[in-house]
């Protein structure tokens, strides 16, 4: 059964989805549109940090999209089908890319045939005809706008006051922990942190609350003897942020922005993109890691790490695109795969050490490349030195990319280390890699890149004599 407009209407979950899909029919929204072997696929620049990847099987209208929508099919899949049927846009003939093949190998068989009209619940059928009616423009009454601005300011002031009160509570709690001692704290971390984290959530200091919530997990991934000193590091850092927040007017503007973000003041995508002063870098980028992690708040944090190719002096060498999707959705990883190459302009969130960014302009779609990653001539020790300098600038710096040349993966018991012979620097690899990275211990020198979180190194990419190794 091939795709038709009637089929799209039958598939659409509601009229709103069709209306939303209609807005995506502009080719400019789609950096990539391609087809081959009975499939069509594309990349759609949505509100996420990374573009959504959509694929549709023409034979049975099977579909997959990396967006976090809970509507099936989502507006992106509907728009792709719609464009295909109307033939209003050219789909470039291409070989099926790896991410599409991955989907094909994992997809279930065709679902059961749709209920007949008699069996189905009577409901109004979405219609493309109605979706084509343009919506009335939103009114922009200046008085309404003024009232909204005043309300926003009132909310901001209320939140500032709530945060300050929350920080007072935090001080009291922290003082108790120091008096009881870190050895004692480690024994009851979960219980100790839960209450204060909840109080900070109520005080709208979600950044600090998140740090305290994650503290239990972080400590328990470490070997037992290392936990009390790690608790000193972590609680010391939280106290530092809370003190810095009270002094934001005295801090340089970028550090002040870092402090507010660490406490929980987020910068919206719209605010970032509309700010003419934010750092923007238009370059060729290589995806070197995609890390997906479920958070305690039932959101999945998907980090897409990029390395800049052809690094210009003074511009950030690395960037991370961060998406949050509900844990319950199937989008466990972002749209990009390690090895993808994109040409894009990124806007960086204001920071002393700019890493987090958002794509502002994509020049074409992502291309999977077998080329070796471009790495500067740095040893692991050189890179670690850069990390230390960055840490001096931003004391609560969390994850930082380290690239290296001529290092070795070495084993001691079950634990793997990334080892630099010359400086004798050994970084323990993340526990989750103690199986996957074992073969690297037998290949001699490697060049590569990974992420250091202050405790463990997540090896993301290695160029070896046996070819490329990628974290999976």
Partner 1 sequence: MNWSTLYAKAIPSLLAGTSKRPLPDDLIPTSDANSFAEMALLSLTGQGLRFERPPGPESFVIEPDIKDERKIIADGLRRPLIRLLTAKGTTEHPARALARAFDRLRLRPHPFDLPLIDAFVRSHAERLGPTAQHWADRQKPEAQTQSYFDPEVLDESSWAQAAVSRRVAYMERRRREDADSARALLESTWAQDEPEARFRLLQALQAGLSASDQPFLSTLEKDRAPRVRALASRYLARLGSGGENPALRECLERIKQGESGVLRKRKALQLELPANVKDQAAWRWVRETFVDVSISELAAALGVNDEQLIEAAGKDEPLLLSLALTTTNDRRLDLLEVVVKHLPNCWERMFESGLDTLGMMTDSERERWQEIIARPYGKDLPTNYYAWDWLHKIAGVAAPASVMSMVLQTKLLANLPERERGGAPWLEVMAAVCPATQRQELRGELSDFDPSQSVNALALVDILDGMEKERTHV
Q: Tell me which residues touch partner 1 (CB under 8 A).
A: 38, 57, 59-60, 62, 98, 101-102, 104-110, 171, 174-175, 178-184, 228-229, 232-237, 239-240, 243, 370, 384, 388, 391, 395, 410-413, 415, 417, 419, 424-428, 435-436, 438-443, 454-455, 466-467, 469, 472
Q: By C-beta, is 38 or 326 nearer to partner 1?
A: 38
* Phi, psi angle pair for 186, to nearest 5°: -60, -35
Of 209, 137, 203, 219, the C-alpha closest to 165 is 203
Residues 6+ apart with CB under 8 A from 427: 380, 384, 402, 417, 418, 419, 452, 456, 457
Query: In the complex with partner 1, which residue's Cβ is closer, 205 or 308?
Result: 205
Nearest distance from C-beta of residue 395 to partner 1, angstroms = 6
Closest CA to 51 of 298, 331, 310: 331
Residues 6+ apart with CB under 8 A from 96: 36, 37, 39, 104
Of residues 104 and 343, the one with the C-beta less far from partner 1: 104
Give the C-alpha separation, 126 to 16, whole Å.
8
Nearest residue to 311 (alpha-carbon basis) of 403, 233, 381: 403
Q: C-beta of 29: minimal distance to partner 1 in Å?
A: 28
Q: How far is the CB of 180 from partner 1 (least distance, A)?
A: 5
Which lies closer to partner 1 via its Cβ, residue 364 or residue 444?
444
Minimum CB separation of residue 301 from partner 1 in Å reads 22
- Between 274 and 415, whose beta carbon lies closer to partner 1? 415
How are strands ordered across the β-sheet holding 92-93? Answer: 62-65, 52-57, 39-44, 32-36, 92-93
Q: How far is the CB of 387 from partner 1 (least distance, A)?
A: 10
User: Phi-psi bin for 264: left (phi > 0), alpha (psi -120 to 50), beta?
Assistant: left
- Of the pair 131, 427, the CB lying nearest partner 1 is at 427
Closest CB to partner 1 among 127 and 175? 175
Q: How far is the CB of 451 from partner 1 (least distance, A)?
A: 15
Please state the closest distance from residue 181 (CB atom) to partner 1, in A: 3
- To which residue do tokens 């209306």 refer? 19
Cα angle 23, 26, 27 (rounded to 5 degrees) comes to 150
């Amino acid at each position: 059964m091939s795709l038709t407009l009637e089929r799209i209407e039958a598939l659409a979950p509601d009229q709103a989805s069709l209306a939303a899909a209609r807005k995506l029919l502009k080719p400019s929204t789609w950096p990539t549109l391609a087809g081959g072997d009975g499939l069509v696929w594309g990349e759609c620049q949505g509100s996420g940090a990374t573009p959504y990847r959509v694929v549709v099987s023409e034979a049975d209208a099977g579909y997959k999209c990396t967006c976090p929508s809970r509507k099936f099919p989502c507006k992106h899949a509907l728009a792709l089908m719609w464009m295909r049927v109307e033939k209003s846009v050219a789909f470039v003939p291409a070989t099926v890319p790896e991410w599409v093949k991955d989907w094909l190998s994992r997809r279930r068989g065709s679902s059961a045939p749709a209920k007949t009209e008699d069996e189905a619940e009577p409901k109004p059928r979405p219609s493309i005809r109605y979706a084509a009616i343009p919506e009335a423009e939103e009114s922009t009454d200046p008085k309404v706008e003024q009232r909204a601005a005043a309300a926003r300011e009132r909310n901001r002031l209320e939140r500032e006051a709530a945060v300050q009160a929350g920080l007072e509570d935090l001080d009291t709690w922290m003082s108790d922990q120091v008096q009881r001692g870190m050895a004692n704290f480690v024994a009851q971390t979960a219980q100790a942190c839960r209450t204060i984290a909840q109080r900070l959530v109520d005080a709208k200091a979600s950044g600090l609350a998140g740090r305290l919530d994650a503290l239990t997990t972080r400590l328990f991934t470490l070997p037992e003897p290392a936990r009390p000193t790690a608790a000193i590091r972590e609680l010391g850092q939280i106290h530092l942020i809370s003190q810095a927040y009270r002094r934001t007017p005295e801090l340089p503007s970028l550090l002040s922005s870092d402090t507010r973000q660490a406490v929980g003041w987020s910068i919206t995508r719209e605010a970032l993109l509309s700010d003419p002063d934010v750092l923007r870098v238009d370059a060729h980028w290589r995806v070197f890691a995609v890390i997906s992690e479920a958070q305690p708040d039932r959101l999945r944090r998907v980090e897409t790490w990029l390395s800049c190719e052809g690094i210009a002096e003074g511009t950030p060498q690395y960037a991370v695109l961060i998406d949050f999707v509900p844990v319950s959705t199937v989008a466990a990883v972002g749209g990009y795969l390690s090895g993808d190459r994109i040409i894009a302009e990124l806007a960086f969130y204001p920071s002393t050490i700019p890493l987090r960014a958002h794509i502002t302009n994509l020049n074409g779609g992502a291309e999977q490349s077998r080329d070796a990653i471009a790495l500067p001539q740095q040893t692991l020790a050189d890179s670690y030195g850069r990390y230390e300098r960055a840490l001096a600038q931003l004391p609560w710096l969390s994850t930082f990319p380290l690239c290296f040349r001529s290092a070795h993966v070495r084993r001691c018991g079950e634990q793997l280390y990334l080892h630099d012979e010359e400086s004798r620097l050994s970084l323990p690899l993340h526990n989750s890699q103690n199986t996957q990275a074992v073969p690297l211990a037998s290949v001699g020198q490697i060049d590569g890149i990974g992420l250091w979180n202050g405790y463990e190194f997540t090896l993301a990419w290695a160029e070896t004599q046996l070819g490329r190794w990628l974290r999976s």
